[in-house]
Structure formats: structure tokens, C-alpha cells
Amino acid sequence: MNQSFFDKVIRHMENDPKAKVEEFNVKAGSNPGDNFASSLFRGTISYKSKFTKNESKKLSLIIKTQLVSGIEGVHDVLNEYPLFRNEMEMYGKVLPAIKELWSSIGDDDFLCPKLIYQSTEPVPLIILEDLSVQGFGIVGKPLEDLEFSKDIFRRLAKFHASNFYLLDEKKLDYGNFNGSLFQIPTMADMMFDQGLDAFIEVAKEEGGFERFIPKLEAFKKTYLNKALESYSSKGHAFNVLNHGDFHTKNLLLKKNDEDKVEKFCFIDFQICVFASPAIDLNYCLQFMVSSQNRLNHRDELIATYHQQLVKSLKSFGYLKSPPSLIDVQIELLRNGHLEVLIALCMTIFFYIDFSTMTSEDMPMGDGMKDAKKKLYRNSEFLEMIKKELPGYLHKGFI
């Protein structure tokens, strides 16, 4: 990323072949633990073009590149998965079509950061506007505000309704969005097999989990085939293009002076998948809602999602019968194994302060299991999961 490269970016953005970068600066753009699937940089550029009337203009950028380094053994595996192809297609085709659809009905909700430039040369990369300069940021854990959680469910429903409608109108095709990390044996083992093994061992040591352990041991033997079915487009009441990684670190928000969320948008569209909406809904239930609100308001949140789904489809001019609330609930029940996997193997990472960790705390190979067991002894996590497991048992998820 040199002078010549940024000149190309600015000339593309300004549609001015004579635009010129005067100064640029690039630095690391994320905190430890914020991003495992790509390399992130933050840049600032001063430039002139025919539109700046010979006055310098400053631009702040987020630069995403294909992962060039990371946890040993992980980045090579992730680079085999078409993460950048997916996200480039999202920013190049899908998201613009959704924004155009929203604009056509006078809806100015904020969907995602503006795309400035993307290319496969010199490496696959995407350049977006840097919203942090406007006061946007990431929160590590779900907010306690139930109304904000409802707003997120509504925005997700509108995103789903939009891509559902555009497919029905044959304006978009999601044929490329058909993969998942479950298809990569190394990732499935690292994220889920090892996580389940570590949790089961900790559960045996901690006590209080006795009635769940045989169920979880049986669940570990069958989860992979079930997950692969969930991430296909067959056998569901209805399908949508899922964000696929819908947690709080992929949500940018801006608060006002009273600490209330004023605006928010989605980021990181690398593992979108056309399949059951239960994928995003289970992420949303685990990451966008506090544990207490999830236990007390789960059905209300799902009903909120469905109401917005139907409302949005009608506003777009969809004339067929929309998916019913029962359809949504059936998808969640049919794909309940995803809720178990996300809760046991993924939410644990939101109880960790990665800024205090070193590579020795998460070794690869033989030492990883013991390291994960240490993470699973987090008292806050164990308190949360003890409240959730009875529901998984009674619904037949385990």
C-alpha cells in the first residue's frame, strides 16, 4: 500500500484520473480478538481532485485484506474459504441492491459502511469508510437495553426480507453463498469438537451438570451432520441470505450524550450463506441480547422479528403469503443444535479480555485443550450456561 496504490483508490472514488494523494498513513486497525478472519488496517489520506477545487481533503479509511497472519495454523485454513469473494460480492452487488430497495420506499435506515474501493490486486482487499471518526464503535458484550435488542431484530428482519424479496424478483442470485466453516474439518475440530470436549470436562469437574453430560457427549457425535444440513438451502420452511456471523463485534453503533444508541449498522459480510434464517436468529439470540432478556423475552423478540419481516415484505410489494410466525419458530426448533453450538463453543469468547492474553495462553496442538478448559472455568459463563441447558434438554436439542 504505497503512493501509487492510494492514487488509484482516490482516482476511482472521485472518478478523476488526475486526482492526487498528498499524504497517507496506515496503521493496524483492530484490537486483539476483534478479527480472526481478515487483516484490518486503518488509513488516513489527504488528497486533491477536481471536486475539491484545489483544496486538500482528508479521508479516513478501513482497509480489509485477505488474512496474512494470525493464530498459527488458522490463517492458511481460512484463506482456503472464499471469504473475500463473498464479501466483495456482497459489497459489489447485494448490499447496493438492498440499499436501492430501501431508498425506493423512502427508508433511510443505515445498513453498512460505504464501499470506497475493492480489488483482487495486489491482494484481495476491500476499502470502506471509517465510521469511527463519526463516533461509531464496537461493544464487546450485548447491551442490557431490551428495546435496542428489538431494534436489532427488526433490522435483521428487514435485511432478510430484502434479500428474500430480491431473490423472488430474480434481481439477485445467491448461488455463491453456499458454504460454511463446518465444511472445513480443521475449523470444525478447532472451534466445536475441542470446545465441546473442554466444556464437558470442566462440567464434570465443576459439578451441577451431571444430567446434561451424557446428552452433551451424544450431541458431540451428531452435531456436524446436523449443522451441515442447517447450512444448506434444502429442507427449510424458507431460506434467506444470512449474515452468517451476526455478533456484537460485527455491529457498529453510535451513542448520543445520554448513552442511548442513536445509529447502528452491520459489518463483516464474509461468511454470508443462503439457508435457514435460524442461523442469524440463533446468533442474534446469543449475542445481541443479554442473558436475562433472552430467558425472559425470547418469544417476544422472535415475534418482533417476524412482525418486521412481514411489514417489510409488504412495503416492498411482495404479493405472496409471507412466512408465518410458526414457520420461524419451526426453523428455530428444527435447527436448535445451532443454538447449543453457539452458546457452548462461541459465546465463551465474549467473556475473555483478549488484550490481556498472549500466544502462550492459546497454544495450538496438544496444549489447546487445557487452555480452553481454563477459559471455560469463567464463572460468569458457567452461571449463564447453567440457566440455558435445561431449555436445550426440554426442547430436545441435546
Asked if pLDDT for residue 77 goes beyond 80, the answer is no
pLDDT on residue 76:
61
Q: Is 205 left (phi over 0), alpha (psi -120 to 50) or beta?
A: alpha
User: Residue 172: what residue type?
Assistant: L
Contact 276, 235 (CB under 8 A): no
24-50 pLDDT, tens digit per residue, is 999 886 665 455 567 889 999 999 998
pLDDT on residue 356:
66
In a domain, 368, yes or no: yes
Asked if pLDDT for residue 364 goes beyond 80, the answer is no
For residue 145, give every residue at least 6 positions away whose Cβ sits within 8 Å of its Cβ, in sequence order, or none.
Answer: 260, 261
Q: For residue 266, give its domain range.
A: 85-112+146-394
Euclidean distance between CA atoms 264 and 137, whole angstroms: 9
In a domain, 60, yes or no: no
Asked if pLDDT for residue 75 goes beyond 60, the answer is no
pLDDT on residue 113:
96
Nearest alpha-carbon partner for 84 in 128, 116, 118, 42: 118
Q: What is the CATH number of the domain that holds 296?
A: 3.90.1200
pLDDT on residue 66:
81
Over residues 174-202, the mean pLDDT reads 91
Reported as a pLDDT band with limits 50, 70 and 90, residue 197 is very high
Contact 166, 286 (CB under 8 A): no
pLDDT on residue 254:
95
In a domain, 29, yes or no: no
Over residues 216-237, the mean pLDDT reads 94
CA distances from 32 to 130, 138, 140, 279 (A): 19, 13, 12, 26
In a domain, 258, yes or no: yes
Nearest alpha-carbon partner for 335 in 226, 248, 190: 226
Reported as a pLDDT band with limits 50, 70 and 90, residue 3 is confident
Percentage of the chain exceeding pLDDT 90: 73
pLDDT on residue 352:
79
pLDDT on residue 142:
79
91-140 pLDDT, tens digit per residue, is 999 999 999 999 999 999 999 999 999 998 878 899 999 999 999 999 87
Q: How many CB atoms lie within 10 A of CB 345?
A: 20
162-171 pLDDT, tens digit per residue, is 999 999 999 9
> Cα–chain-centroid distance for residue 198?
24
In a domain, 48, yes or no: no
Reported as a pLDDT band with limits 50, 70 and 90, residue 181 is confident
For residue 96, give every residue at least 6 positions away whose Cβ sits within 8 Å of its Cβ, in sequence order, or none.
Answer: none
291, with CB counted inside 10 A (0-12, 13-18, 19+), is buried
pLDDT on residue 2:
83
Nearest alpha-carbon partner for 147 in 245, 242, 288, 258: 288
Q: How many domains does the chain have?
A: 1
pLDDT, mean over the chain: 90
pLDDT on residue 392:
97
